[in-house]
Structure 1
Amino acid sequence: MLFFSTKWWISVLAVLLLSVAYGGRLAINDENNSPDKERAESNDSQGSDIQVITVKTTTINDLPNKMFCYLAHYFTPKSFLLFGLTNKYYKKILLDNISLFTFMLSKHYYGSSKEERQRYLQRLNKSSSIPEIPDASFVTDRLQRLAYLRYLSNKNGFSCKCVTVLKGHSNWVGPIIQLADKHLVSGSDDGTLIVWDMEKFEGGQCVAILNENCGAVLVIIQLTDNRLVSGHKNGALIIWNLNHSEGSRCTAILKECDSEVNAIGQLTDIRLLSCYCNGTLIEWNLESGTIIYSIKITETVQSFVCLNQNCVLLACHSCLIVWDICQHKEGQEHEHIFNELRSSHPVIKLADNNIVSGDNDGNFLVWKWGSFDKCTVLGKHRDLIRSVIQLDDGRFVSITSDGEMKIWDLHTRVACRDTLSIGNIHDDVRSIIQLHDGRLVLTSYGGLIVLALSPKDINSEKL
């Protein structure tokens, strides 16, 4: 949401008033040095008792356009828009200035997180994958270009094109992640993990197949040291090192519980938390492969997010639970912060600690940190939400098992105009991720579907 910034507005008014005062003083000085002034003084010296001096003042409209645009950088997005709509003169200077308009869009969408988002894009090296603004190639700032695409997609809707389908699994494909080296890893109900190289030509993207015969792969994560951990249907956790030669990439198998692994998360460099279908939670020491503690709760944990290294938010079938890991004795007290859910899965923690999730009723939910007894329902799908991710531009994508996809913008509090049903998908969609190059990847029966997402009519749009 947009908030009026008193600090910046006062600063801008002060600068404008100083400009007006300075202009007026110049006018007075010019008047004092003018021939008319000299003649008036001459007449006065000749005995005239009346002296008339006309003082020329300067208004905000007399400011040079360049100075006006410079001052506009200090406006809040709301005051910028309102000021630009005051009259045609201001609209031409502000809203028709593409560089200034996209700057204000990036300020509106990302606010205090602009620098963090810039660093994130720098790490991804996304300049080549963000299209130029039509008729404005001089706008080179990647965050401004990304903000423009976000604005355009919200305004006109978006389109999705299937780029390719990766085949290799023989059963349902579930979890998928992109590694730090930009390779993909997918897991399947056939028990295999496949490593994909998206830079290779079609037909040669599969570069490795991992299998330890532990049943369906349900969860995959990458550790901070770049090793992989996969969770399986028989309760096993397998640690993989892709730098090892083929045949020795499985470095450890951790197994204590026979129930399905629902979620895995790394708490610190050496601590791993795993959650199981029967309500068991186990914390592991990754260095020794031993159990730090094991506890069983009455709820089934669907997923979780780490609030800090000693506190997690558990998304269970019928409630959310804040769990203090330091108090790991059997029967510890934990805080049920919401008790009227039908499975809030998956869960994403935002930079401001607010929570975004979907549920089995198809609702897209936003939870305000500190008041989890209340949530905002931004909209609804026709089926249960399988996966929710955050895009590079800050918006969210949710997708259902039948392939219905929606994009949500928390600034507008609604879904973008279009809802897509991904063509030719009649099977169960399990998950979705966004690649470093901006494309989306869905997992379904037997394969991975790579999609290119873009705003409609980008090449014909004018600001």
Structure 2
Amino acid sequence: MLRYMNKVGFICLFSFFYVGMSLFHCAFGHYFYPSVATLDLNSGLEEKENVNNMVVLSDKRVALVFAHKHIKVLDFSEADCQPSVITLSQGTEANQIKTLMPLNNQQLVSGFADGTITVLDLSKPGQEQCVATLKGHSDWVVAVIPLSDGRLASASVDKTLKVWDLSRPVGEKCVATLRHDEWVAAVRQLPDGRLASISTDGVLKVWNLNNPRGERCLATLTTDAVSELKSLLLPLTRGRVVTCFSVKVVNIWDLSEPYPEKPMATLIVSENESLKTLTELADGRLVSCAANGVKVWDLNKPDGKQCVTTLNEHTGLVRSVVQMPNGWLASCSEDGTIKLWNLKKSYEKQWMGTLDHDGTTSGSLVALPNNRLVFLSHEGVVEVWDLNKLVHRNLFGRCILF
């Protein structure tokens, strides 16, 4: 009898523990979403190729560079989110595609290793999609950006910036050439229309294209930036830009008049590993990704207190972070996960859920305007999550016992 009562007591105790843990899980659980579509761009290929770049083309389309030789356009407009794929062959092994940028909902511009720039209009038939070929650079094109007046600006290893007017006749489209002493690593347009460019020697230059030819360079600043993060020339509001002082530190420069001799703020974004990416949020704060997780920075705070949040649920290097239309953040790590964060909640409740991705290392994230999240691994695996389709959230009243 005693043995029987002990067994009953054990069962009751285990049941109490089980239900208690389940209720705890329900009270403090996270969101769960299914992957709604998966596509392997390497399917059927004998030799696997990598994805080199990815940009949002329009509301439901994404363009990417595949194997440095092809541009692929993925259309996510179908209800099941399964993307249709259009392949545009442009580059070769000897003349690879080095950069890709959308101009509007129907046009893409790409830069090549030989210095050529092409403009594609996807609204036209296949043989007529190349609407412009720009020649003038003598080495590979690092970046091409659209300007607010409809022109283009390009940066090249040949130490020059060029400005292009597509409305002009063939042979006359290059309307300005601006020079650095070293390779031009990045170019951005400031909110007031001026250009900012940085070269691999860390020199930041500010240009006014409306001035006469000899007076276009308004300022030359030595930033001590490093070429490893040459893409981190990030324009902010009110004429500010971000440059990388080292692989662990970024500087914030105020480029309004008069031009500064030193940065207005310096952020130590990482102490162990190099910074991988930096993103500006809709509210003006910055988000950095590195080995020590994701950090959120508020430049309005005093020196030493600009880091307002550290999101460190990842166990691997974080390489990509995007802000979703609903305001959440999504961060992608080499630990095989994508974490969802809601910065409007208190610190201990900001982590909203985890998505598992199929990348063997990591990849890039793109947030589509319809609140869909696209992950593209470097190995060519595309996965899509629809954050509007919640499977369940483990809260009281919607508990699922595990």
TM-score (norm 1): 0.52
Larger radius of gyration: 1
- Cα drift, residue 292 of structure 1: 0.6
User: Aligned partner of 1:272: which letter?
Assistant: L
Percent of aligned pairs sharing the same letter: 21
2:295 is the counterpart of 1:295: no
User: Aligned partner of 2:222: which letter?
Assistant: K
* SS of corresponding position for 1:309: helix
User: Aligned partner of 1:168: which letter?
Assistant: Q
Aligned residue among 311, 324, 330 for 2:240: 311
How does 1:239-388 map onto structure 2 within 5 Å? 239-269=163-193, 271-288=194-211, 289=213, 290-300=216-226, 302=230, 303-316=232-245, 317-325=247-255, 326-328=257-259, 331-332=261-262, 334-338=264-268, 340-341=270-271, 342-359=273-290, 361=291, 363-369=293-299, 370=301, 371-373=305-307, 375-380=309-314, 382=316, 385=319, 388=321
- Cα drift, residue 313 of structure 1: 3.0
* SS of corresponding position for 1:215: coil
If each structure's strand is expressed as a fraction of its own residues, which one has the higher value?
A: 2
Distance in 2 separating the partners of 1:181 and 1:162: 17
CA 1:408/1:197 → structure 2, altered by over 3 Å: closer, same or farther?
Answer: farther
Task: Render the CA deviation track for 1:54-102: whole Å, top value 9, x for unaligned.
Answer: xxxxxxxxxxxxxxxxxxxxxxxxxxxxxxx9xxxxxxxxxxxxxxxxx
2:137 is the counterpart of 1:213: yes
Between 1:258-267 and 1:286-295, the stretch displaced more is 258-267
Q: Which runs of 5+ in 2 are unaligned?
A: 1-25, 27-56, 62-79, 344-348, 393-397
How does 1:154-233 map onto structure 2 within 5 Å? 161=83, 163-170=85-92, 171-180=95-104, 182-200=106-124, 205-233=129-157
Distance in 2 separating the partners of 1:459 and 1:384: 25
CA 1:397/1:391 → structure 2, altered by over 3 Å: closer, same or farther?
Answer: same
User: Aligned partner of 1:177: which letter?
Assistant: M
Distance in 1 separating the partners of 2:117 and 2:157: 14
CA 1:344/1:389 → structure 2, altered by over 3 Å: closer, same or farther?
Answer: same
- Cα drift, residue 168 of structure 1: 0.7
Contact 1:164 1:451 in 2 (8 A): no
Contact 2:99 2:112 in 1 (8 A): yes
- Cα drift, residue 374 of structure 1: 5.0
Partner of 2:357: 420
Distance in 2 separating the partners of 1:398 and 1:340: 16
- Cα drift, residue 392 of structure 1: 4.6
Task: Render the CA deviation track for 1:34-56: whole Å, top value 9, x for unaligned.
Answer: xxxxxxxxxxxxxxxxxxxxxxx
Contact 1:310 1:324 in 2 (8 A): yes
If each structure's helix is expressed as a fraction of its own residues, which one has the higher value?
A: 1
Distance in 2 separating the partners of 1:405 and 1:207: 41
Partner of 2:73: none
Contact 1:263 1:276 in 2 (8 A): no
CA 1:275/1:408 → structure 2, altered by over 3 Å: closer, same or farther?
Answer: farther
Distance in 1 separating the partners of 2:109 and 2:377: 11
CA 1:263/1:239 → structure 2, altered by over 3 Å: closer, same or farther?
Answer: closer
- Cα drift, residue 282 of structure 1: 0.5
Distance in 2 separating the partners of 1:456 and 1:310: 34
CA 1:405/1:202 → structure 2, altered by over 3 Å: closer, same or farther?
Answer: farther
Distance in 2 separating the partners of 1:230 and 1:284: 13
User: Aligned partner of 1:307: which letter?
Assistant: L
- Cα drift, residue 335 of structure 1: 2.9
Distance in 2 separating the partners of 1:346 and 1:277: 18
Distance in 2 separating the partners of 1:358 and 1:187: 27
User: Aligned partner of 1:219: which letter?
Assistant: A
Distance in 2 separating the partners of 1:163 and 1:297: 42
- Cα drift, residue 379 of structure 1: 4.8
Contact 1:368 1:375 in 2 (8 A): no
User: Aligned partner of 1:418: which letter?
Assistant: L
Contact 2:293 2:310 in 1 (8 A): no
Contact 1:388 1:397 in 2 (8 A): yes
Distance in 1 separating the partners of 2:381 and 2:174: 28
Contact 1:163 1:450 in 2 (8 A): no
| Cα RMSD, aligned residues only | 4.6
Contact 1:405 1:422 in 2 (8 A): no
- Cα drift, residue 206 of structure 1: 3.8
* SS of corresponding position for 2:91: strand
User: Aligned partner of 1:410: which letter?
Assistant: N
How does 1:95-134 map onto structure 2 within 5 Å? none
Q: How many residues align structurally?
A: 300
Aligned residue among 336, 342, 346 for 1:410: 342
Higher relative contact order (CA 8 A, sep 6+): 2
Contact 2:98 2:140 in 1 (8 A): no
CA 1:291/1:165 → structure 2, altered by over 3 Å: closer, same or farther?
Answer: same
* SS of corresponding position for 2:233: strand
CA 1:340/1:388 → structure 2, altered by over 3 Å: closer, same or farther?
Answer: closer
Contact 1:173 1:444 in 2 (8 A): no
Between 1:365-374 and 1:411-420, the stretch displaced more is 411-420
TM-score (norm 2): 0.58
Partner of 2:6: none
Q: Which runs of 5+ in 1 are unaligned?
A: 1-84, 86-123, 131-157
User: Aligned partner of 2:310: which letter?
Assistant: T
